[in-house]
Chain A
């Protein structure tokens, strides 16, 4: 792979619950518990998992929106793990985020022109004409053409797909190395989702923008990402090329998650592996393998050994954290 633009190493984010008087209260919540990942120029990594698995907290920690309690984050060669607000300011343009709900993310009183121009006002010193040129180009890039017909519209005058395109335009106007996309299409209608995902693919190809996509939709991840990392209770339990992870899953959790994805073809009935047991709770991570209480194939060893991500012999950078690997099939 080419140049690494984002390197996350053993990242930890722990929240200490506090009472209204500021005293600590209850067990600390280990939302992110030793996550390592890398993102190469132009690559898309999908971080998948159920709600509460820590995928959004991982993204927020990478973006320095919450503080890391351990590990490190390197953005384009700079260690930003403990960068101050002032140190972070010039670096922030290299990493931008697009949220799930484009209606919430855009200020309803800002016209499209203002929403896309805002990052330029903060990060660059440009004349009004130069800014307009950049905004126009950004709108063209995201497929809002002709840009003149969109510049003066308000968010409520746009469809959901168009609003998400404006949010993406505002994120790419600074030409960041890394784009974090948090469930970028889950609020949108099925008929417009592919267009947004194709747009992200184009940005990767033409600008070398790397995308960290957070999603719970494995079909979308399989189709659009280069690699998939599956998170469970604050840790990556399996990672590899998207196709390999989906077609040849190794971790029992990945297998279960994939088994419940409904097929489009009614004649292909799926046989779901329904997980039972308590839903995962980051304030109370089970000892040994954190997945063992819900695992359909757990053995005595799983209660004691906390497995680490281990390379699988397929030579594709496919890794999983399970003591029962490799499967003797």
Chain B
């Protein structure tokens, strides 16, 4: 293995990418406030996966109080407790940026019935 990948490999999580593009996921994100630590859940649609190895990130979009919010999480970050899939989506592209231009029902992704919730429930 080349040396750059070996450096990141130590911090890689097992099975961190347990979701696909188009899925709706819940990201359990650790927030440190002074001494206390709490977990915040951010739920939204996976519209993009970028980079490889330790740099792998996921872009999660949701509508919050009528405003579109996108957060980019490094999926191997120790700050991420876990990622749950709440709904599987059926999509035909790797990047769902077209969702940004759509409002309401048009911005929905069809649910994928084939590999439905059983595994993740």
Q: Do A and B actually bind?
A: no
Q: Which residues of A contact B (CB under 8 A)?
A: none
Q: Which residues of B contact A (CB under 8 A)?
A: none
